[in-house]
Amino acid sequence: MTSTSTTAQGALVTPAQPASEDVGVRQLLERGRRLSTPALRSAVERLAAPMDTVAAYHFGWIDAHGNPSEADGGKAVRPALALLSAEVAGADAEVGLPGAVAVELVHNFSLLHDDLMDGDEQRRHRDTVWKVHGPALAVLVGDALFGLANEVLLELGTVDAGRATRRLTRATRRLIDGQAQDISYEHRERVTVQECLEMEGNKTGALLACSTSIGAVLGGADDATADALETYGYHLGLAFQAVDDLLGIWGDPSSTGKRTWSDLRQRKKSLPVVAALEGRGPAAERLCQLLTDDAKKSQEQFQEFQESEFAERAALIEEAGGRDWTAEEARRQHATAVAALDDVRMPDRVRAQLVGLADFVVVRER
Amino acid sequence: MTSTSTTAQGALVTPAQPASEDVGVRQLLERGRRLSTPALRSAVERLAAPMDTVAAYHFGWIDAHGNPSEADGGKAVRPALALLSAEVAGADAEVGLPGAVAVELVHNFSLLHDDLMDGDEQRRHRDTVWKVHGPALAVLVGDALFGLANEVLLELGTVDAGRATRRLTRATRRLIDGQAQDISYEHRERVTVQECLEMEGNKTGALLACSTSIGAVLGGADDATADALETYGYHLGLAFQAVDDLLGIWGDPSSTGKRTWSDLRQRKKSLPVVAALEGRGPAAERLCQLLTDDAKKSQEQFQEFQESEFAERAALIEEAGGRDWTAEEARRQHATAVAALDDVRMPDRVRAQLVGLADFVVVRER
């Protein structure tokens, strides 16, 4: 892993074919945010009080006291993909806007509920909604965002909007399935790499897949085109998640906004961990022993661990090959994603931007 | 109120024009349950483990240990309405089946989440899902049922299914708005009758409205017909809720499955309470004083109240006119519901059954 972990940009993974900076990925993300935020805000304004305020807090538009703020609202990869996908179908980016809003609403519905279910107290360097506004409103506002997502699409009243909503509904159900798997895996002693990939495909892949097809569907693309775009988005999601799992152990807290060894502290069975445990040799054996003992400890005992104890586990995961395997997996998923675009006719600029986005996702800084 | 509270059947409200038993309301409800249950079960079977099991527990198909059971799954008024509404449009009842399943899924999504938010430990004489399976699964399975509802409709792939989903989405958002109002009213010292009716219209009226239009829409009815049916369903919902509010104070625990003075124990600002508080005279004043003091008490202090203290509050509500006003309101809503049917052409039998259902809702035994 030294070759990838010591690149100039501090990236954890380098794709086989890095794109040039010229395709303007940052501008693309910026466009996604610029176009979708006003539409998202006006959708959220439809919510009855106090749900509108709670949602505005979640999105970072106001602080906990209700004062305007400009907190980090996330990378907005999904809206950017939705707008770009309309251009795949030859339509204006704006045609994908209701889709961009809908996927972002569903994404944030799942964040609200997942944070509550997982007991996570921080998101994007701020207290989570249930911490600030209580569990009831976290449930309710999540529900409202879910409903709003369907509403925004269906009120277009077109056949294509119905098709788009159906894809979104399917993706949302997979998102929920993924969270169910995630929760049930927590109570299991052992999870296979295959199970982990399936869970991550549901939790992350399905909605990124839908984000990449929804604008195209609204722009009149046929189902074969939409399916190929979903293949791209799905594998993009898995690449994204593999990188996220690397960042969850070896990421720099100042960029990730999480503590050091974040996923290890949560005893998360992420890809590097499960891949390492499937390895053979003394490092895998020692790791297995340690994690089995860890599982018996209470959350309180575990929180008292020294930095060196997490560092030991991270080193064993790396020695047992979990880090290399995950970085390699990110590259494999990246390649599969990009290859899926071969099946779709689209303007060269749009293709270059989709490839650029895939590169961006994989080469995120730590 | 003596005339209504002492009828032979023990009903709390008698409608102005009681329907004969001949229209077969019980058979109608039975048909709703018979047709919708298998479809509902096969929809729920799509859920990933352990959500399928948790949902099956919620619906009463299995007990907390996973053994088959036949617990009370509720009256199934919504599926019965959805099937009947297909017949309004001249279609077979079965055409309304996906709609019947969808509204029942949304209804149960809201029960799962509301029980968690409200901390209710019992529903239909059984422990609620969050009590048995924990809060995380109550959130997640609720989400899954919500998603499933849209999926069941949208996979029909027709324009009418898109229209039906749009109505369902709108109703679901109102349901959520209603729950938000309900929660926020709890923290308010005073709620007006108007606010209470608006909340109940959202929480109960909107989904009953949708239940009454969804089968018709799937059967090809135009929007004007669907809107008139929604008017019937909305006011039916308000009539239902008024009766529910009467039962919540004066209902017989052996029929309601709740404790005596159930709504008073929860300090619920239900219709009889808010109507009584809007009255003048010594009873209203004394009630206002008592409830203001009650609001300052902790839940623990409140739970130690004697039966006689609740009986005193119930008597004051009655004396201040809250009981009479609510029974009268149930009759008014019943009449408005039935009158809305005048605008819709439909077979005589179907009309008689819709009227019969409205009567049934209002004349429920205590």
Q: How confident is the model at residue B275 (pLDDT cuts 50, 70, 90)?
A: very high
The tokens of A199 are what?
């869970």
Tell me whether residues A166 and B181 touch, CB distance under 8 A. Answer: no
Q: Is the pLDDT of residue B83 over 60?
A: yes
Tell me whether residues A140 and B181 touch, CB distance under 8 A. Answer: no
pLDDT of residue B303: 78
Residue of B nearest to A170 (CA): B151
C-alpha A192: how far from chain center: 21
Tell me whether residues B159 and A159 touch, CB distance under 8 A. Answer: yes
Option in A135, A154, A170 nearest B165 (CB):
A154
- Sequence length of chain A is 366
Q: Is B149 on the interface with A (CB under 8 A)?
A: no
- Closest to A37 in 3D by CA, of A79, A67, A69, A94: A79
- At a CB cut-off of 8 Å and minimum separation 6, what does B295 contact? B189, B267
Option in A155, A159, A173 nearest B144 (CB):
A173
* ipTM summary value: 0.90
- At a CB cut-off of 8 Å and minimum separation 6, what does B233 contact? B81, B205, B208, B209, B210, B211, B212, B213, B337
Q: What is the tens place of the pLDDT at every residue in A300-356?
A: 888 788 889 999 999 999 999 999 999 999 999 999 999 999 999 999 999 999 999
- Closest to B114 in 3D by CA, of B250, B268, B235, B295: B268
Please, what is the angle between helix A159-186 and helix A193-200, to 10°? Answer: 140
Classify residue B292 as exposed, middle or buried by CB count within 10 Å of its CB (0-12, 13-18, 19+).
exposed
Q: What is the tens place of the pLDDT at every residue in B26-67?
A: 999 999 999 999 999 999 999 999 999 999 999 999 999 999
Option in B48, B142, B150 nearest A180 (CB):
B48
Option in A49, A151, A173 nearest B170 (CB):
A151
pLDDT of residue B17: 53
The tokens of B262 are what?
């159930």
Place of tokens 């979903």: A230
Classify residue B188 as exposed, middle or buried by CB count within 10 Å of its CB (0-12, 13-18, 19+).
exposed
pLDDT of residue A7: 37
Q: Is the pLDDT of residue A17 over 60?
A: no
pLDDT of residue B18: 53
Tell me whether residues A143 and B184 touch, CB distance under 8 A. Answer: no
Q: Is A183 on the interface with B (CB under 8 A)?
A: yes
Largest CA distance in chain A: 61
User: Would you list the DSSP string of B106-131?
Assistant: HHHHHHHHHHHHHT--EETTEE-HHH
Q: What is the mean pLDDT of residues B115-140?
A: 93
Query: Distances from the Cα of A174 to the Cαs of A31, A198, A321, B157, in angstroms?
Result: 28, 10, 30, 20
pLDDT of residue B366: 37
Q: Which residue has the higher pLDDT, B305 or B169?
A: B169
- Closest to A146 in 3D by CA, of A104, A201, A85: A104
Query: Distances from the Cα of B13 to the Cαs of A311, B353, B355, in angstroms?
Result: 71, 19, 16
**How far is it, in rounded angstroms, from Cα A269 to Cα A153?**
36
B50 contact residues in A (CB cutoff 8 A): 180, 184
pLDDT of residue A82: 98
Range in B19-23, B190-194, B227-231, B281-285 the model is least confident about: B19-23
pLDDT of residue B8: 34
State how far residue B320 is from chain A, nearest Cα, in angstroms.
32
Range in A156-160, B277-281, B299-303 the model is least confident about: B299-303
Are B198 and B190 in contact by the 8 Å Cβ rule? The answer is no
Are B229 and B216 in contact by the 8 Å Cβ rule? The answer is yes
Give B 58-117 residues with CB within 8 A of chain A.
109, 113, 116-117
- Closest to B164 in 3D by CA, of B89, B78, B226: B226
- Closest to B208 in 3D by CA, of B99, B115, B123: B99
SS3 A291: helix
SS3 A351: helix
Q: Is B188 on the interface with A (CB under 8 A)?
A: no
Query: What pairs with residue B123 in β-bridges?
Result: B126
pLDDT of residue A18: 52
The tokens of A71 are what?
């907190």
Are B313 and B287 in contact by the 8 Å Cβ rule? The answer is yes
The tokens of B82 are what?
């959805």
Pairing relation of β-strands A126-127 and B122-123?
A: unpaired
pLDDT of residue B364: 67
When the pLDDT of each residue in chain B is averaged and rounded to a whole number, the result is 91
pLDDT of residue B292: 92
Q: Is the pLDDT of residue B14 over 70?
A: no
Q: Is the pLDDT of residue B164 over 80?
A: yes
Tell me whether residues B166 and A151 touch, CB distance under 8 A. Answer: yes
Are A321 and A276 in contact by the 8 Å Cβ rule? The answer is yes
Q: Is the pLDDT of residue A275 over 50?
A: yes
pLDDT of residue A117: 94
Q: Is the pLDDT of residue A50 over 60?
A: yes
Q: Is A186 on the interface with B (CB under 8 A)?
A: no
Q: Is the pLDDT of residue A73 over 80?
A: no
Query: Distances from the Cα of A321 to the Cαs of A245, A276, A283, B173, in angstroms?
Result: 14, 6, 9, 49
- Closest to A244 in 3D by CA, of A360, A114, A364: A364
Percentage of chain A beyond pLDDT 90 is 75
- Closest to B354 in 3D by CA, of B205, B201, B212, B202: B212
The tokens of A238 are what?
């898995």
The tokens of B311 are what?
């009986």
State how far residue B94 is from chain A, nearest Cα, in angstroms.
22
Residue type, B184: S
Q: Is the pLDDT of residue B195 over 80?
A: yes
SS3 A336: helix
State how far residue B158 is from chain A, nearest Cα, in angstroms.
8
Classify residue A324 as exposed, middle or buried by CB count within 10 Å of its CB (0-12, 13-18, 19+).
middle
Residue of B nearest to A109 (CA): B143
pLDDT of residue B329: 97
Q: What is the mean pLDDT of residues B209-221?
A: 98
Query: What pairs with residue A126 in β-bridges?
Result: A123
A107 contact residues in B (CB cutoff 8 A): none
